[in-house]
Amino acid sequence: MTEIKADFARYLEAKKPQRFEAMTVVPLSFLGDRGPDYRTLSEGIARGKVRVTEVDKGGSVPNLMVVNSGSLATLILGGEELAGAKQNRVLNATILVGAHSELVVPVSCTEQGRWHDVSPAFTDSGYVADHRVRGALHMSVAMSLDNGAGYSGDQGRVWDEVDQLHMRQCTHSPTGAMRDAFVERQHEIDEYLGAFPLIDGQHGLLVLLGGEVAGVDFISRTAAYAQVHRKLLQSYALEAAAAETGAPAGGKKRKLSADEALTRANAFMGTVAELTGRTHKSPGRGWDVRYRGPGVVGSALVVDDVALHGAFFAEANGDDGARHDRDGRMAGIARRRSMHTGR
């Protein structure tokens, strides 16, 4: 199996930290755009160049059909949610769908109580999955890849995580839809979004919650990153907002100085840069690379030797001093951090 080192992390520069309450965001930037051009899922659907549907009239929970009629490839992030059709779904892995092509993609359901059509095609829900939902999904996908069974996920666990999300956030959904938790708490989330504006030349972000490194997401092209900036912030801010409102998902609050945040960010990215990952053929273009090292887990989609999207997270017992809950598991973003460990 081919191994790829995470050298791309060396070329991401940490910018001036942005802070609000117990959440700190360190914008990340390459010197310039990298790799092939592509559209995001949001842009593709909005322009009418991408259509996502059930695979057939009967539907299939773990699969969707993506038709890209445009002249550019379309990048869909792992954990990015699609709404409509028979039930809402999230992508099991980051996938690049080629121009003028059709592709069946692996997904998991994030709306347990519905299996009937509300629309002929899916829309962009506007969200990336909550940390714990995304983590549980990616943990099971990593196990599946290690076992040679492809990009399938543990659907039962994803549903359980969505149920627990609503319990932690004190929210309710008549169909058990993950999206409804975000919608109900959108007012609190928006306060965080306003504190973390997109900066010129931004390719990604590193987030600290309660003074601890939570994770990193980056995209190879600034125009594409701008399309997903809000989504990625929301996937972290939901937990941070709960801390401020006293919901059970909230954790302890600790505010870092700008210098402390930069020191932790650079240390984390330095650790990432030393990782070597195992490759798996992506369902679309390129290679899905899975990484694990001391205190860090993550993945990247590599196309034409360029990482188009990468996501890395602080792991339990890592150097970031991550906290644990009473079961010995990571609190807050635990399952997203462990999504690549296969345990």
**In-domain check, residue 171:** yes
Instruction: Pull the structure tokens for residue 301.
Output: 């989609």
Looking up tokens 């650079």 gives 266
- What percentage of the chain carries pLDDT values higher than 90? 69
**In-domain check, residue 130:** yes
**In-domain check, residue 342:** no
Indicate the SS3 state at residue 78.
Answer: coil
CA-CA distance, 262 to 256, in Å (whole number)? 10
Indicate the SS3 state at residue 286.
Answer: coil
**In-domain check, residue 117:** yes
> What is the model's pLDDT at position 193?
94
Phi, psi angles (nearest 5°) of residue 297 = -135, 155
**In-domain check, residue 226:** yes
The residue segments making up the domain with residue 29 are: 3-337
User: By mean pLDDT, which of 117-121, 216-220, 333-337 is the weakest?
Assistant: 333-337
**In-domain check, residue 325:** yes
Which among 203, 232, 256 is positioned nearest to 333, based on CA atoms?
A: 232
Q: Tell me the chain's radius of gyration from C-alpha atoms.
A: 18
Tally of domains in the chain? 1
Looking up tokens 């699609």 gives 82
**In-domain check, residue 343:** no
Task: With residue 34 as reference, give the H or E element that holds it.
Answer: none
> What is the model's pLDDT at position 59?
93
Q: How, if at all, do strands 95-97 and 73-76 pair? A: antiparallel
Query: Which tens digits make up the pLDDT trace of 192-222?
Result: 999 999 999 999 999 998 899 988 999 999 9
For the whole model, what pTM was predicted? 0.87
The residues facing 283 across adjacent strands are none
Which among 61, 59, 336, 68 is positioned nearest to 207, based on CA atoms?
A: 336
Of residues 230 and 239, more confidence is placed in 230
**Using an 8 Å Cβ cutoff, are 277 and 267 in contact?**
no
Task: With residue 99 as reference, give the H or E element that holds it.
Answer: none
CA-CA distance, 323 to 44, in Å (whole number)? 39
Is the pLDDT at 225 greater than 90, yes or no? yes
Query: Which tens digits make up the pLDDT trace of 62-87?
Result: 999 999 999 999 999 999 999 999 99
Instruction: Return the DSSP state at 149.
Output: -
Per-residue b/e over 273-283, b at no fewer than 16 CB within 10 Å?
eebebbbbebb
**In-domain check, residue 20:** yes
